[in-house]
Structure formats: C-alpha cells, structure tokens
Structure 1
Amino acid sequence: MSKLLVAATGLAAATALTLGGTGAQAASTTLTPAGHSFAAKLTGKATFVAGSTTMTCTVSASAPGTGGNNKIPAAPGNHNDAGPVSATINPPTFSGCTTSIVGVSVTVTANATNGAWAVGVQNGAPATGGFTIPKGGVVLKTSGFASCTITASPAGPTAVNGTWTNGAPSTLAISGAPVPATVTGGFLCPTGNQSATFSATYQITDTTDPAQQITVTG
C-alpha cells in the first residue's frame, strides 16, 4: 500500500515542465512562431513508478484560455542569446487515472495558488524542454483502502525536464523524472517526505494556426 501512494506522488511531475540547459554555456534558443498560442496534450499514457507499483493516467493537457498563458512570447522575447525561452501555462488537467492496487483510486488537482506554471525549451543536441510546477501546485487524493493527501513540490518550484523533438507536432518526452512530495493522512498513508518517477510524452501544438508547428531552433 505505501508503495502505491509513493507512486502517486509522481503524478505531480506531469504538471511540472521547466526549461533545461540553463547556464553560462547554454546555446542560443528561439521558440517559434512568436506570439502564437499553444497546447500541450498527453499522447499515450503517463506512468508513475515507485518500486513495483505503477499508476497510469490516460488524459492530461494544458490549453490556452483567457489571459496570456500558453502563449509564445512576442519577438524579440521568443529568443535568448544564451539560454532557454519560457512561457507561463495554465495548470494541466489529469484524468483517466488508475493504480495497480485493487481498491485504491486517485483524483488529481493542479493549481497556481502559490505561483505560475511554466514550460520552457533550450536549443541543443538534443534540444531539451520541461515543465515547472509551483509550490504545492499539484494535490493528489486517494480513496478506498487508504485516504491520503499527496502535495507535490511542497518546498518551492520543481523542474521536470525532458527531451524536445521538432515535428508535426513537436513533442516533449519526459522519462523517469523525479518529483518531491509530502503525504498526510491516516494509518495506511506513508506520511512525510516522499518521491517517485514520472514518464510521459506531450504533443505541443499551435492553436493560433494549426497548420504551423511549435519549433525550437538556435
């Protein structure tokens, strides 16, 4: 049971995408088309693993809404001479989640209460990308055999990095990324600090002009 709940903490990682490759030696990065809105949508399944326990979600997405989230910066803000380019996004949604333990279910809520979500990219070989989850930005609640609350990124923002591939559509692939969490609850809950790994691939599409592709270059 405790392994299941530790695995559940990995769900927070899905909501975390930050730019990799920061630093003085980072290559220049350009994210195009400048000023266009974009959506991130899970393709396949998001998998959270801790020990022998797995939790899987089949639906996850972050889409534009009112305001300026999910929008590539206008030029020249879509270019960085020596580092990544980032944009704020709406908190992603998660559904279709199941666990490998009979009798335990989970719901997931993402929020921006303590800061903004972001997605960022860094040109390179390969190009990288990631989500940033703000402090406490994902809360998972289990029910059934155990009623526990798992809060992701409890101490501050957490970066979850992966590999970016230009294409039609472009993709961001995350593999085995760690995410911290704290767990509270009753007798069967593994209370205290926990961690897990997260793997998923998101398609990044242009919602301003679906005929164009979101692309990372130098």
Structure 2
Amino acid sequence: MPDALMLFAAGFGTRMGALTADRPKPLIEVAGKPLIDHALDLTEGLGTLRRVANAHYRADQIEAHLLGREVAVSREEPRILDTGGGLRAALPVLDADPVFTLNTDAVWSGPNPLNLLTDAWDPDRMDALLLCVPLPRAVGRKGGGDFSIRDDGQLSRGGDFVYTGAQILRTGRLAEISEPVFSLNLVWNAMSADERLFGLPYPGRWCDVGHPEGIRLAEEMLAADV
C-alpha cells in the first residue's frame, strides 16, 4: 500500500457558481460535512498514511480547516499548477512512490475506494491504477465516460467508465514533463503507450459534486444508504 495520499483541493470550483464566491469548493458541505472531510474519512483505518492537500484558491481557508488534523498543505503560488504540476510540487512532502491521489469533489456509496485500489495494485504490471465507475452508477455525471477497461485491465480512452478521481500512481514520470503547469493526463498517456495504465471498476455508486445539483444528488444517495 502507498505510504502517502494527495488530496486535490486547489481548484477554483467555477462550475459551482456563486457557491464558491466566498469559499473553496472542498469546504462546501454535503450532508452537513465539508467535501474534503468526506474524502478524509476514506483514509481512516489505513495506518500511518501521510496526507497532503494542495491549495491555491482561498488557500487560507483550506489551511485553517485542516489545522491540527495531521494533513500537510502544499500551497501553489503564485499560480495554480493543475493536477500534474500540483502533485509534482507536493512530492517533497509526500515523500513516497507510489502515492494515492484523491479528488475532493466526489462522494462515495459502497466499498472504500482506497482499500479496493490497495488490493488490486500490482507494481510489476502497473504504473497507475485508476478507479473507474460505470456510467449508470456515476451519479450527477454530465457527459459521457472517460475510459474503456480491457479484459486484461488496461485502460484505453473513450468508453463508458468514468474516472472517479481515486488512483494509485507511480510518480517518476512527473519529472519528464518540462512545463510547470500540466495535467496528469500527460503522464497517463505516456503510461498507456507503455501498456502500464490500468483501471479497476468500482462496484458501488459515486457522485460528482463539482456542480450545484451534485449536492442534492449526493445527499439523496447517502440518505438511501441509511
């Protein structure tokens, strides 16, 4: 199991409209709890896992919320670095390879995604293992899928599986990108070319809370679990 986890919490949350005018998206509440706390709940019971959150938009609020909670903050200044650049900037604090990464704008119903990734991780075959949910169980998803999962588990672009924002990733290829600001898609493309990019289907439900309607949908999904 990886020794560290990266929480992506730096974005502007523009799809949330007025809801992010005075706060960062990870602090928007779903079922009475900030989104970032829903993500942190998934890390409970995983042992001595080093947890790092990046921050840019209203970074002071992220830092204040996480104060005293054994979560380091990697501030991105003066500009936001996107997922790849943000992860690379946080590597000195993460101090691990591979690492978990987890988006903070989703809510889960079903098995713990980090446990599933741990059980399926095969370092001899994989440079990345992305947890993906079938479109019918991707609550609040607007648009189609991201990937197809082949019989051998390798990922290819396009298809009916949605990337959930949870993965295990080897970090070595981050150094190969010359730009300071870049998406992890560039790293995944290189891994795919070497047949080292894999996907794992998620058996539960997952809700995209990147847009206002997602709040209601996530709360309804969670209420159905009670």
**Fold-level similarity (TM above 0.5):** no
More helix by share: 2
Higher relative contact order (CA 8 A, sep 6+): 1
Taking structure 1 as the reference length, the TM-score comes to 0.25
More strand by share: 1
